[in-house]
Structure 1
């Protein structure tokens, strides 16, 4: 049964490292949550390692720049692993071809196509219209407020051409402040539902966890999975992924599932149990907000 805790410090001494989701846990897409920042700073002060594990389609450097804008200080974390970096590595190895149709918001996502120098022989990517493309790189909707079904005609054409869709962010929705937006994960889900082939690299899928472990190794850390705690507000991404990797997890109930779990300071116990039973996930711990 999931244990409801009052603060991260109640359990943090059991773990040497944290895999921490960003959106809905550390910030709301506009600004940082002060209590979450303080909790991570305190954990690091005691010697713990914080890996920010995010389904952002941005490269690691782009997320770090964004965190400055959101007032998340650098001493709240040690390193960052992004879905975007996992997906970029696959793209530059030819997973969806060389001529790519891009979906997303270019002013936000252009960093996805920056050269990836860690590969020995990355392929050269060129952007192309859908009619000429060999694959689709999806960082998100063109309009995050629009019904995803507006893409059905393009997806039908792409499916008939046999194009693979690389999903750079498996999240279905995020809350930017008080506004809920669609993410690339919903487009990939729709494409798969229509018979297309979608490729995933972020949570809950294995590549991003492999990347997070490599980020730990790069810090000179050799930490077993049993000593890692995953923290996130998405049961279908953060909690599902942690369970698949056999990593303990802390569910932030006051994020995407705040209504369903009746979260005020903490979730209502019965509402939380009903929600998790319906979703068929069982995190070790739950808390209203990271603090």
Structure 2
């Protein structure tokens, strides 16, 4: 049974470092969660905090976004984004011709040596960063396109495994929902980001750069299939924040029901050592 947590201060001495989600913890896409930023800042007196986000853009862009919301750099020691791992993976594959799916804001994934192509069959890689316009589109609008991509044989990289995220009071679709359509059509995608291992390898490097002996790592996040699944895969304790994308399933915003929390975790075969509505000290 997960333990209800009143604040991070109650367990801070039990951990050497934190891997913390960004969207859903430090902000909701529109507003910063300042209590969460304060909690991470206070923990940094004890050990490093590495932000780990499935954002399909370089970590420099994530850093700028956090600063614009008022969640400043004193809340963390380093950032690891899915975009960082995508950039590394494309370089390793020497992918030069890219079929991009997503908004223009994610074009920072590509360098001047790369060319965007309009046909997936002419590409070295298909990169799914998100829906092109997630304010009006849904995955259903992409079914035929994802089937064509699956049939093309071109390697497919999912640059953000999230299915949905919060934006204010709404849930919006993410790249993971499109990658699932590709796989349903018969072609495996390369999933880059939480809960998959490549991202955690890179995140650990950032932790050990600040504290080489960090062995007790706490994962904080609101996403069961990403944050909490990733913690489970890596053998780390987790703090599940219930006021995120699963709020309606576990009792509502600010009022998590212990039994519903346990049932929801069990439904996905997951365990979280702690839970709380939001992160605070």
In structure 2, the partner of 1:102 is: 100
In structure 1, the partner of 2:85 is: 86
In structure 2, the partner of 1:29 is: 29
1:1-291 equivalence runs, <5 A: 1-44=1-44, 46-94=45-93, 97-106=95-104, 108-114=105-111, 124-130=113-119, 131-144=121-134, 145-219=136-210, 221-225=211-215, 227-291=216-280
- CA displacement 1:81-103 (0-9 Å, x = unmatched): 111111211111117x4311001
Consecutive unaligned residues of structure 1, counting only runs of 5 or more, are: 116-123
Partner SS, residue 229 of structure 1:
strand
CA distance in structure 1 between the aligned counterparts of 2:71 and 2:246, rounded to whole angstroms: 23
CA distance in structure 2 between the aligned counterparts of 1:14 and 1:26, rounded to whole angstroms: 22
CA distance in structure 1 between the aligned counterparts of 2:69 and 2:56, rounded to whole angstroms: 17
Q: Is the 8 A contact 1:18 1:231 kept in 2?
A: yes
**What is the CA-CA distance between 1:259 and the residue it aligns to?**
0.9
Partner SS, residue 247 of structure 2:
coil
Q: Is the 8 A contact 2:49 2:207 kept in 1?
A: no
Q: Is the 8 A contact 2:208 2:214 kept in 1?
A: no
**What is the CA-CA distance between 1:284 and the residue it aligns to?**
0.8
CA distance in structure 1 between the aligned counterparts of 2:13 and 2:185, rounded to whole angstroms: 46
**TM-score (ref. length: structure 1):** 0.91
Partner SS, residue 92 of structure 1:
helix
Q: Is the 8 A contact 1:229 1:249 kept in 2?
A: yes
- CA displacement 1:84-127 (0-9 Å, x = unmatched): 111211111117x4311001111x11211147xxxxxxxx4221
Consecutive unaligned residues of structure 2, counting only runs of 5 or more, are: none
1:90 to 1:218, Cα distance in 2 relative to 1, 3 A:
same
Q: Is the 8 A contact 1:163 1:196 kept in 2?
A: no
How many correspondences in the alignment? 278
**What is the CA-CA distance between 1:7 and the residue it aligns to?**
0.7
**What is the CA-CA distance between 1:161 and the residue it aligns to?**
1.7
RMSD of the TM alignment (CA)? Answer: 1.5
- CA displacement 1:153-175 (0-9 Å, x = unmatched): 22222222212211111000011
**What is the CA-CA distance between 1:266 and the residue it aligns to?**
4.7
Q: Which moved more, 1:146-155 or 1:73-82?
A: 146-155
Q: Is the 8 A contact 1:17 1:223 kept in 2?
A: no
1:103 to 1:77, Cα distance in 2 relative to 1, 3 A:
same
**TM-score (ref. length: structure 2):** 0.94
